[in-house]
Structure 1
Amino acid sequence: MSSDKPAASVPRVAALYRYPVKGFTPESCESLTVLEEGRIAGDRVLGIRFADAGGAQDDWCKKQAFLSLMNTPGLARLSLKFDHQRLHLTMSLGDKLMSEAGLDKTGRQRIVEMITQYVLDLHENPLQKNPERLPLNLVGDGISPRYQDSSAGRVTLHGRESLLAVAGMLDSSELDERRFRSNIAVEGLNPWEEQGWIGKVVSIGEVRFRGFAAKERCLATHANPETGARDLPVLKALLNSYDTKKPVFAISLMPENSGIIRIGDPVLCSDVCA
């Protein structure tokens, strides 16, 4: 660890998130289960996919094939709750219930009809000038994590000190970490320290990870996670905050075993496997 931190200081997990529906609001969790396949249980188990995405309905495909904050920032205004046991999805807009349904054929149709109309009513939407993207499809079984940005899955992590560095570049006292849609937020690092973990072993709770790659960001980060407004030039700030030719924030991790990680778990990095 860097000598800038006191010797007794150990970085710890500050927050954990998973995203039942790709591109929609997160669940804040006390713990996450990391699966042997390299994904988090309950994470991106559903997605709203364009009709012209190609391939089989449930195949993994790139994020450009889905409704997401990158192409539909107004999705941030919808509050989503997913009952992982009952496979039941609820969406609200403020105090207004927009949809409540299961994942049977009828329920999926109701969800898609609501989402389609909601998106078409937005000033910025990817459907109005692209009719070939309709009808939308609700894909996924609600159980299998499948629709991460990478076909290999992976788990994402950022340090809150890096978040503060970006906030300083933006002259913003409050930069919500939900803009970056990480699974794990860590406190106790130096700014950008996690970027030095590529190729190293990162141990969190019961799980050992390998640092895989820096996460290049997209326009989704410009969307305010409460209002959906594109209110901050985050990509420009990232280019000016960290010595890189691409706007990166957070890193992706490949698990070496399955297990549970919890808020408060120490986060340890080493150069070689034990």
Structure 2
Amino acid sequence: MTFGGGGHTKAILNLVPEVTVLALDRDPTAISLAQQLAKEYCGRVKPLLGKFSDLEALLSNMDIKPGSVDAVLLDAGCSSMQMDEAERGFSLSKDGPLDMRMDGERYPDMPCAADVVNTLDQQALASILTAYGEERQARKIASAIVEARRVNPITRTQQLASVVAGSFPPAVLYARKDRLQRSAHVATKTFQALRIFVNDELNELHTGLRAARSLLAPGGRLCVITFHSLEDRLVKRYLQGEDLSNLDHFSPRKQGNGKPKLVDENRDRRDVYWLPLQRKVITPERYDVNENPRGRSAKLRAALRC
């Protein structure tokens, strides 16, 4: 969860000769790669086309029962394969249609990023940028988008990047820094927010975590890789036992008097589902980042199913 380009799956197959990998991805392009890999490894890969929220139904159709899976690797977010293809509309550095749908081929009527920026009102746009991009200048950017679309619809990635850039003074266009202290475009958070919103990524992540809990056998391992603070915050709270069903889980918790309790100390121990495998989140070493700069923001959390 998800298969992506198959890098993790190949590593698992080569490390554990007897393993069978159930490879889930919502992107038909990724599933075609999984199907090729299944041929190379004599059926040890079972491609599954669908979202995290489809997983339990897909496995039920394969007669795979709850509590029978040994391990789950959940790799959240957008894949490099999707980012590198300009026509998918994920990258602000490459001009393409403002799409951002991970499975637009399957659901052609599903709203794309262009539909969002051209139809929602200014307040709704600002809310999306704040919630999913943690963008401090959300109101300013939303205002610029609304003004620009009155002249021409915003349909291209470079067009949107220019609109966002136009709402900032030229001196701060690349003033933001990433984790490698490299200049980051001011529209980066806007693109992230739209992508997460269009693909309903945080709700899918939450659903995927719950599916993992149901499917894993006692003692089974869950490993989750996230790439931004919204995802990691959700995973951290979930593994600590917090009920996220009615929680505004994508925004920082409002601090009251003293540190909030994440878990009820008097809760029945039967409700404790996870035993953390390490005290702190695992982040890439310097050599990892040098080898794969896109992994610079990755965070790994791992736990045993109790």
**TM-score computed with the length of structure 2 as normaliser:** 0.23
TM-score (norm 1): 0.25
Query: Which protein is bigger by CA-based radius of gyration?
Result: 2
Q: Which has the higher contact order (CA 8 A, sep 6+)?
A: 1
Higher normalized helix content (fraction of residues): 2
Q: Which has the larger share of strand?
A: 1
